[in-house]
């Protein structure tokens, strides 16, 4: 029987264990700017997908995704052993590392919203000085209908 609550608890624990191990135990310089963001564990607790992001050395520097992926691939065995020792589950889940695209998607969404706000401001400025093309009230009133009859 699948216990989703147990899988979620194990996933949270894996995030903590892997993040701490990367920071304190793994001495690979390619993993200096890697941050573990989330993990998902299958219902049978046999496989874990660990999501990570990579930051650049400076704010303007482009992150090195390829070397971070290589570093994680090389450290997978050690990280899996660390997870097994720290969790004490009967079967240590296999670890698969996947680049987390949520921060990039959020940044793109913020850029799109900023562009939409700028366009809305321009439209509002143009509309502020605009006058209607026809009559001020384009709908017929009861008084006008009586005059037409």
> In this predicted model, what pLDDT tens digit does every residue of 105-125 receive, in sequence order?
888 999 999 999 999 999 988
Average the pLDDT over 96-105 and give the result. 87
Cα–Cα dist 58/99, whole Å:
19
Average per-residue pLDDT in the chain? 87
Give the model confidence (pLDDT) of 49-90 as tens digits.
Answer: 999 999 888 877 888 889 999 999 999 999 999 999 999 888
pTM of structure: 0.70
> Is a pLDDT exceeding 70 seen at residue 141?
yes
> Is a pLDDT exceeding 60 seen at residue 43?
yes
Both tokens assigned to 49: 């997908």
Q: Are strands 94-99 and 34-41 parallel, antiparallel or unpaired?
A: unpaired
Please report, for the chain, the start and end positions of each structural domain, with discontinuous segments joined by +.
4-100
Cα–Cα dist 149/83, whole Å:
87
What strands, in cross-sheet order, belong to the sheet with 47-54?
34-41, 47-54, 94-99
> Is a pLDDT exceeding 80 seen at residue 138?
no
> What is the share, in percent, of the chain residues with pLDDT greater than 70?
93
Write the class of the CATH domain 4-100: alpha beta
Residue 15 contacts by C-beta under 8 Å, 6 or more apart in sequence? 36, 37, 38, 39, 50
pLDDT at position 3 is 78
Continuous H helices in 25-141: 65-87, 102-128
pLDDT at position 146 is 56
Helix, strand, or coil here: 115?
helix
């Amino acid at each position: 029987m699948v216990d989703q609550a147990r899988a979620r608890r194990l996933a949270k624990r894996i995030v903590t264990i892997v993040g701490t191990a990367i920071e304190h135990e793994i001495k690979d310089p390619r993993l200096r700017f890697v941050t573990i963001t989330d993990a998902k564990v299958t219902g049978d607790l046999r496989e874990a997908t660990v999501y990570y992001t990579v930051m650049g050395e400076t704010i303007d520097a482009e992150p090195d995704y390829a070397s971070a992926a290589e570093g994680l691939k090389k450290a997978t065995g050690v990280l899996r052993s660390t997870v097994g020792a720290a969790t004490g589950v009967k079967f240590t889940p296999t670890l698969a590392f996947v680049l987390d695209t949520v921060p990039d998607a959020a940044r793109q969404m913020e850029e799109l919203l900023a562009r939409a706000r700028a366009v809305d401001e321009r439209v509002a400025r143009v509309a502020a000085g605009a006058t209607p093309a026809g009559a001020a009230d384009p709908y017929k009133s009861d008084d006008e209908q009586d005059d037409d009859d």
